[in-house]
Amino acid sequence: MRTGRTPIDYADPRAVRGLARIIAFAIVGGALAFALVITILPREPAFENPQEHPLHTPFVIVAAAFVFIATAIGMRMHGYRGTLAERTRRTFQAQIAGLALSEAATLLGLVLVLITHSWDAILPAALGSAGLATCAVRGEVRFGSLVEEAAARQDEPGGYAGDHGDTA
């Protein structure tokens, strides 16, 4: 039976940031590995104009939507309220959701490159890659502020990072 508990100590933003970094590197590494595989595959003749492929426009629209949603999720993470542990948990979840959506956009673009046999159809993958970079940087900045806050609270007399309910 699931209790909703996880082995992650959200009261320690430094540890959660480390886990988020590992996940981000794995996601980016997966996209790079897929791009490498596409590059190594034997080339078939490419479409004359890959932008006119029937899947090009839908893939661009879906990739842009994924990156837009990831950006909207990421922009909200700086306004989370609650205890430090709650904000750390929500920041972690938002970063992973944003990375996953951006990864989906990147892979969608790479699939289009695979279908069209041309790197000229790279726009959806480029959108996704920009989303991945943005999510990684935004999460790093947010976790940095949470780590600083936790350090400041531990320096307070009798302070512990997880025992304050204020919304800083």
The b/e string for 103-133 (b: 16+ C-beta within 10 A; e otherwise) is bbbbbbbbbbbebbbbeebbbbbebbbebbe
Tokens of 126: 């480029």
Please state the rounded mean pLDDT for residues 6-16: 85
Q: Confidence band (pLDDT; 50, 70, 90) for 117? A: confident
SS (H, E, C) 100-129: HHHHHHHHHHHHHHHHHCCHHHCHHHHHHH
Residue 66 predicted with pLDDT over 80:
yes
Query: What percent of the chain is predicted at pLDDT more than 70?
Result: 89
pLDDT value, residue 24: 92
Q: Confidence band (pLDDT; 50, 70, 90) for 156? A: low
pLDDT value, residue 157: 62
pLDDT tens digits for range 19-55:
999 999 999 999 999 999 988 887 777 778 888 888 8
To which residue do tokens 């540890």 refer?
15
Indicate the pTM of the whole model.
0.82
